[in-house]
Amino acid sequence: MYRLTEEDIIEIGVITHFFSKINVAVVELTLPLSVGERILIKGPMTDFEQTVESMQIDRKAIQRAQGGQSIGLKVTQPTREKDVVYKKI
């Protein structure tokens, strides 16, 4: 199995809240993120990869978010506060 090295990913944000009923994580971004990009979410009990399919700001769908923005991100698995979000490069 192929394992990612640190050169393959870059930290782009952190989870600040998770809405379990709708599988949406609030992410405080430090770098830009776009729909269609591959991300990894890692923490003490979290470790999964997914493609960004849906992001929102203030309940409005967006295609791209900038560093410094807080977004709602639809996730495929549960996350926890302080989990780190990485982008595959």
Residue 5 has pLDDT above 90, yes or no: no
Taking residue 88's Cβ as centre, other Cβ atoms within 10 Å add up to 13
What confidence category does residue 3 fall into, taking pLDDT thresholds of 50, 70 and 90? low
* Class of residue 33 by CB neighbours under 10 A (exposed 0-12, middle 13-18, buried 19+): buried
Query: pTM to 2 decimals?
Result: 0.91
Tokens 């870059």 found at = 10
Q: Which residues of 35-64 are buried (b: 16+ CB within 10 A; e: fewer)?
A: eeeebbbbeeebeeeeebeebeeeeeebee
Write the pLDDT tens digit of every residue in 12-66: 999 999 999 999 999 999 999 999 999 999 999 999 999 999 999 999 999 999 9
